[in-house]
Structure 1
């Protein structure tokens, strides 16, 4: 009867997981199709609006002469028809060749691609043409304002970004080949258009070409420009990742989620300052001492940040020792009686370890929060028994703790002997701090049993953990001075 109950519970959870997974896949399909609809909606809407004004927008492969340029445009046209067709088929089939984080980054690319394309078409106004307009007798001014200050070919850049975005979201070899083929043909078209523009506008275009990059950038790279580009990308990333964390991490309840807005604001400020310096528009220069003080302090901070993050990431991949006497699963919040996603990963890892090491006992550690219906320890016990079939006699509850320090302190009191082999089950990003605290609390034979760090919020957790480790180091300094 007990075995039947366990099997039924496992089947029920599996069916629920499949249902949720199906809903998630459908969501990504809808998002990808939306990005495509917006992109091509902009394209064809602009063509229709210009057609009403008597402007022939589509000039692709419309020349009378069958020269090399004609066949480049014709091939490009075929490629740009094949690409969206392959994208739609890939989306409908739901091909997934990369982990979740690649899908998220793919959405970023497609989103930015839509914005870049819309901005380029809007800025170009009625001067926009698709293809080299050799037979267009209407005199048009060279557009170098707005987004064209930073890219000579923002519309093509928009195409490439959307291609890359959909490819990352629904990767498969066929889509890869067709997307690369389309981007190569677009590049060849750019080279052809550059020759036409040089011939048409002469020195005006040559000067423009010297100060604005083909795809993105302002002229030849310099240290200040490279730094500005890095900060610009960081600004875009931080804003988009902030909303990603809100969507995947439980909204504003996700601790420290505001950190990404601070990073975005700081990066945007640095872009503004560097752009003014590059343009020679700095009204008031900072004293050299202030500049060098900032540079030294920032370099020290980045070095410390990098070293700490390397330690955190290394701890994530630690291999747990076999046949430990005890493992301690640290609590991580409940929603009523159900564990948070991070806590689910910890419980799952604990169950896997207990299944592989039959003599190991587990201490489920975690008290009951004000918004929780049961203790975190009790929640872990229920899941281990009902969902994973773990023997109740192997589970010990510690229900007083409210943080990691208390988790480990009270669990050691239960174990009694600090030399007994013990493993700490927590999410990978948290292992370094948990192990550091355990050693401070007196554990003599402790090792990591890292659970999965869930993405896309995993990046947030890893960055946030830097501040957790900084707090730990500061406490260590305070303790040593007592």
Structure 2
């Protein structure tokens, strides 16, 4: 079902999508214009003398590449979206990378760049295999595909899907046509190049080292782009642990560099086998532990709350003056929904007042529950001393008085596993999850960050058990 994006937010995504298209086609036509001043005819699409199968492939491709941007602009103007927000963000990543790849390919080709198979071009041109062409035989076509996919993810609709797929299929057929032409024109030089560089992206036949390098390369790009996404959607540098993505990007980039040197046979100093195996074992153990912990966190996000609980506790999550943060809003909303559906349940709003907050987090929740959701004030109990999750639950249990009374914990889904674990340690005997929505796109950051929160909890448990 299409998601409606309101007001300025909707307009912002339209502007961003149009900007990506403007940059892409600006590069395309600017390059054509610059080459035209030098007497170079860049557009060779369907301009050959022969009317063979190749001619009609190029002609159809030309029609497809005219239809695609037209469909994209119409989709952007209509402004409805068929995917959740995170897909739209990923679409922006694709379009951004597509613009960079296309610019780099056109720049690297210099005056050798042509659109279409230049069969009648008498000018002798060298085969370009340097720069980005060392990693992709068709980076310009790859740029087209990335932008098509990006706009499709941002403004999905069935018509745009069909036209985008049609355009990409025709571009692929054009690539096959150009490969035959290049092999005929450059002979063994192109055959050797073809053997060491992949059609779209990659260097030669896949090997474990190459596959690992590709994974780290994608992780590098993702981490950098996601870092800026977190800054834009998560409150800037105030978002805790946001620097984690720069560390992941730096580590991944280092691994790409090391693996590329190994693949090329340029390793100057080889590490001792014991060091390599020690690293591999430690890294495998870490990844296994990370994966298991993340599965537990994600599973806790989808827990179904029990009905007719005696109490629910909504955990505080920071204020901006007197207004709740986005994460806290989600918790308050979930608490209100539960109270509406379970009329005998009482709520403990838990959270003290921070140094930069005008009121306590508990008071903020109470005001929102009464004024915005119409919850009866008599059902709301305030706990205004706590400063963290452990104190939230400890002081709330003191108010409840009986650890066997059925109690639900309202917090964002990514935080439920740790909150439930702490509750059980604090003495709750009949506790269950009431998970609020985990907000995306920063939700990925919160889920990854929570791994370290759970690690801290496990370490504390070990320390407690040894006392």
Q: Deviations over 1:254-277 (max 9, x none)?
A: 000000000000000000000000
Q: Report the 3-state secondary structure (helix = DSSP H, G, I; strand = E; otherwise coil) of the residue aligned with 1:447.
A: strand
- The change in CA–CA distance for 1:20 and 1:210 in structure 2 (over 3 A counts) is closer
Q: Report the 3-state secondary structure (helix = DSSP H, G, I; strand = E; otherwise coil) of the residue aligned with 2:190.
A: helix
Aligned-residue offset at 1:21: 2.7
- 1:250-265 aligned within 5 A: 250-265=235-250
- Provide the rounded CA distance (Å) in 2 between the counterparts of 1:228 and 1:108: 20
- The change in CA–CA distance for 1:37 and 1:123 in structure 2 (over 3 A counts) is same
Aligned-residue offset at 1:95: 2.0
Aligned-residue offset at 1:18: 12
- Provide the rounded CA distance (Å) in 2 between the counterparts of 1:305 and 1:198: 48
Contact 2:2–2:83, Cα closer than 8 Å, also in 1: no
Contact 2:321–2:359, Cα closer than 8 Å, also in 1: yes
RMSD: 1.6
Aligned residue pair count: 467
- The change in CA–CA distance for 1:458 and 1:479 in structure 2 (over 3 A counts) is same
Contact 2:230–2:242, Cα closer than 8 Å, also in 1: yes
Aligned-residue offset at 1:192: 0.2
- Provide the rounded CA distance (Å) in 2 between the counterparts of 1:24 and 1:298: 41
- Provide the rounded CA distance (Å) in 2 between the counterparts of 1:165 and 1:17: 17
Aligned-residue offset at 1:17: 17
2:117 aligned residue? 132
Aligned-residue offset at 1:150: 0.1
- The change in CA–CA distance for 1:227 and 1:400 in structure 2 (over 3 A counts) is same
Contact 2:2–2:80, Cα closer than 8 Å, also in 1: no
Aligned-residue offset at 1:51: 0.2
Contact 2:404–2:428, Cα closer than 8 Å, also in 1: yes
Q: TM-score, normalised by structure 1?
A: 0.96
Aligned-residue offset at 1:94: 0.3
- Provide the rounded CA distance (Å) in 2 between the counterparts of 1:125 and 1:17: 43
- Provide the rounded CA distance (Å) in 2 between the counterparts of 1:273 and 1:222: 15
Q: Report the 3-state secondary structure (helix = DSSP H, G, I; strand = E; otherwise coil) of the residue aligned with 1:389.
A: coil
- Provide the rounded CA distance (Å) in 2 between the counterparts of 1:239 and 1:478: 36
Q: Deviations over 1:330-356 (max 9, x none)?
A: 000000000000000000000000000
- Provide the rounded CA distance (Å) in 2 between the counterparts of 1:21 and 1:443: 43
Q: TM-score, normalised by structure 2?
A: 0.99
Aligned-residue offset at 1:235: 0.0
Instruction: Give the alignment partner of residue 357 of structure 1, picking from 342, 360, 371.
Output: 342
Q: Does 1:77 align with 2:59?
A: no
Q: Deviations over 1:201-249 (max 9, x none)?
A: 0000000000000000000000000000000000000000000000000
Q: Deviations over 1:124-182 (max 9, x none)?
A: 00000000000000000000000000000000000000000000000000000000000
Instruction: Give the alignment partner of residue 322 of structure 1, picking from 287, 290, 307.
Output: 307
Q: Report the 3-state secondary structure (helix = DSSP H, G, I; strand = E; otherwise coil) of the residue aligned with 1:17.
A: coil
Q: Deviations over 1:303-336 (max 9, x none)?
A: 0000000000000000000000000000000000
